[in-house]
Amino acid sequence: MPVAFVGGKKVYRSLNSLDSKIKEMTPPETVVISLKQHIGTPAKCVVSLGEYVTVGQLIGEADGDYSANVHSSVSGIVCAIELDENGIYCIKIENDGSNTASDPTPYTASLLTSTPEQLVEEISKYGIVGRGGAGFPTHTKLKNTLGNVNKFLINCVESEPFMTKDAALLREYPADIVSGIKIMMKILQIKKADVFVGEQMLEQGYNFLNYLKDRSFIDVNLCDDKYPQGDERQLIAAVYKTEIPYDRLPPDTFSVVFNVETCFQIYDCLSKGTPITRSLISVDGDGIETPQNILVPLGTSIADVIKFCGGLKDNCKCVVVGGSMMGDAVNPFDTYVTKTTSSITCFKNPPEHKGEDCIRCGRCEDVCPMHIPVPLLNRLWEIDDISEAKINMAHICVGCGVCTYVCPSDLPLKDRVEELREKIIMEAENE
C-alpha cells in the first residue's frame, strides 16, 4: 500500500520529459553565476575582473557554516562582477569554448577509511546544496544531524507535476545513487535507508528495486501520487504519522530526509573530484518544442536553455522557473540557472486566478496539507484581520498552492494566505 499524508490532491501531471535520455547541454557563450545559490550567507568572491578561470575552479568561497562554495561552470575570462537586484554579487564569465578543467583529485581511494567528519569536510568543498528548492547546504545538514538520527529517508517522490528529473535519474544512474546512499549511510552511521518514490514513477522504482536485489539495507517504498507529497514534512507525516511543526526540523524526530539527487551528486563529486557545476533540469509544458531532462551548466540563462530545447511555441504565454505549482513566472533573458533550479515549464494558457466570490465549497480546506481553515482566512483577508488570522495559524502556510489549484471560484487563495502570513511575521518582528 502506498503511504500518503492527510490532505493534498492528485494534480494534472505530464511525463513528456521522461521519454528521452538525460542530455548534457553545450555550455553557452556567457554564464552569470550568482554567489548566493543556497540558503544562508552569500559566498565571498575570490576571483578578480579579467582573471582566467577553469571549469570547476572556486570562484566563491563559503562564508561561515550556513554557506556553500560556488565554482565556475565554464572556462574563460571573468568579464564582469556586478550586483543583482537583491544586492548579491554575480560573476559573469565569457566562455572561451576550450573547456579547460582544473585537474580533479578523486576521493574514492580513502573512502573506506575516512571518518564521518572527514567525509563531511570533503563534501563541503564541492558546494552541494539541497535540491528541494530551498537550497540548504548539504554539508551543514549532515553536520547538524551527525549522530542524532536513526531514520534515513531518501526523497524521490517528486510530487511537482511537469517534473521527471528524479525518475530519469533513477532510471539512468541507479549504481551512482546506491553508492551515494552508501556514503550517506556511512556518514550518518545508519544501517537502513528508505527510498520513497511516487506512484507516477512506478516503473522506474520497480526497475531500481530489481537493480538492488538485496532490500536489507536500502528499501524502496511507494507514495501516493499526490501534491505536495514531496515536502519533507509531509513525507515524514505519511511514513511515521508524526507531524513536525513549522518551527521544528526533522532531526527533532530523529529522522533526516535527503533528495535522491543529492545522493547522486555526493557520489558524483567524490568519485570524480569535481564540484557541482551543472544542474539537472526538467523542461516541460505545452509551450516548449521538445520536453526533456538536461544537465545545464550553472549560470546559463533560461533563454539559452529554451533555445537548446527547440524554443518556445508561438502562443506560449509564460515561462516558469521552480515548478508549476510553486514557481515564479520569469523573464527568461535575465534569469539564470542556479544550483536550486529544478524545472523550467512553459505554458500556453496559464490560469489567471481572478475570481471574486467564495462559494464556501470547502475544497481548499480539505486539501490543505497544513490543515488550516482557508475559507475563513479568505474572509479574514477581505477584512484584513491579522490577529484572528494568527489564531487560525495563517503563518504556518507553506505556499504549496494546492488551495488555489482546486478553487472552483478561481480565487488567488495562496497569494491571500501568504499576504496574511507575511503581515503576521512582520507584526511579530515589530514587537
Partner 1 sequence: MSKLGTFTAPFIKDKAKAETLYLDVIVALLPPLAWGVYIYGARSIVITLLSVLGAVLTQLIWSASIKTKLFDLSSVITGIIVALLCPVSAPLWLAPLGSAFGILVGKLIFGGVGRNLFNPAALGVVFLNVAFGEKMNTFVAPFEKLPAFALAPTTAELMENPLVTLKNGMMDVSNIWEKIYGMICGNIGEMSKIMIVLAFLYLFVRGTVKLEKTLSYIGGMVFFVALYCYLVAMPEPFEYAAAHLFSGSTVFVAVFLCNDYSTTPTTSNGAIFFGVICAMLTTVLRVFCDIPDGAVFAVLITNALVPALERKTRMAYFGQFFKQREVRVNADETK
Closer to partner 1 by CB, 42 or 369: give it. Answer: 369
Query: Which of residues 128, 325, 380, 420 is near partner 1 by CB under 8 A?
Result: 325
* Site for partner 1, residues 58 to 77, rule: CB under 8 A: none
Instruction: Please list, in sequence order, all residues whose beta carbon lies within 8 angstroms of the beta carbon of residue 196, skipping any fewer than 6 positions away.
Output: 3, 153, 154, 155, 156, 157, 220, 221, 222, 223, 235, 239
What is the phi-psi region of residue 21: left when phi exceeds 0, alpha when psi lies from -120 to 50, beta otherwise? beta
- Residue 15 as a binder of partner 1 (CB under 8 A): the answer is no
- Residue 256 as a binder of partner 1 (CB under 8 A): the answer is no
151: helix, strand or coil: strand
User: What distance in Å separates the CA atoms of residue 264 and residue 280, rounded to the nearest whole number?
Assistant: 11
User: What distance in Å separates the CA atoms of residue 182 and residue 179, rounded to the nearest whole number?
Assistant: 5
Number of residues engaging partner 1 in binding (CB under 8 A): 69
Residue 174, all three cell numbers: 541507479
* Site for partner 1, residues 149 to 208, rule: CB under 8 A: 161
- Residue 244 as a binder of partner 1 (CB under 8 A): the answer is yes
Please provide the distance, in angstroms rounded to a whole number, between the alpha carbons at the two ends of the chain.
Answer: 48
User: What distance in Å separates the CA atoms of residue 244 and residue 252, rounded to the nearest whole number?
Assistant: 8
Query: Which of residues 52, 66, 206, 246 is near partner 1 by CB under 8 A?
Result: 246
- Residue 85 as a binder of partner 1 (CB under 8 A): the answer is no
Closer to partner 1 by CB, 139 or 233: give it. Answer: 233
DSSP string, 254-275: TEEEEEHHHHHHHHHHHHH---
CA angle 366, 372, 374 (to 5 degrees): 70
Closer to partner 1 by CB, 74 or 398: give it. Answer: 398
* Site for partner 1, residues 402 to 431, rule: CB under 8 A: 402, 404-410, 412, 414-415
Site string for partner 1, 368-407 (x = CB under 8 A): -xxxxx-xx---------------xx--x----xx-xxxx
Stretch that binds partner 1, among 17-25, 97-105, 262-270, 318-326 (CB under 8 A): 318-326
To the nearest whole angstrom, how small is the minimum distance from the Cβ of residue 319 to partner 1?
6
To the nearest whole angstrom, how small is the minimum distance from the Cβ of residue 76 to partner 1?
26
343: helix, strand or coil: strand
Residue 286, all three cell numbers: 505545452
- Residue 359 as a binder of partner 1 (CB under 8 A): the answer is yes
DSSP 201: G
Closer to partner 1 by CB, 25 or 407: give it. Answer: 407
To the nearest whole angstrom, how small is the minimum distance from the Cβ of residue 418 to partner 1?
10
Q: Which of 252, 156, 240 is nearest to 204 (CA)?
A: 156
408: helix, strand or coil: coil
Closer to partner 1 by CB, 102 or 409: give it. Answer: 409
Query: Which of residues 290, 326, 385, 423 is near partner 1 by CB under 8 A?
Result: 326
- Residue 329 as a binder of partner 1 (CB under 8 A): the answer is yes
Stretch that binds partner 1, among 24-32, 41-49, 176-184, 349-357 (CB under 8 A): 349-357
Name the burial class of residue 266, with classes exposed (0-12), middle (13-18) and buried (19+) by CB atoms within 10 angstroms of its CB. Answer: buried
Sheet holding 44-45, edge to edge: 44-45, 58-61, 70-71
To the nearest whole angstrom, how small is the minimum distance from the Cβ of residue 372 to partner 1?
6
> Residue numbers of the site for partner 1 (CB under 8 A)?
9, 11-12, 161, 233, 237, 242-246, 248, 303, 306, 312, 316-320, 323-329, 331-333, 345, 347, 350-353, 355-363, 365-366, 369-373, 375-376, 392-393, 396, 401-402, 404-410, 412, 414-415
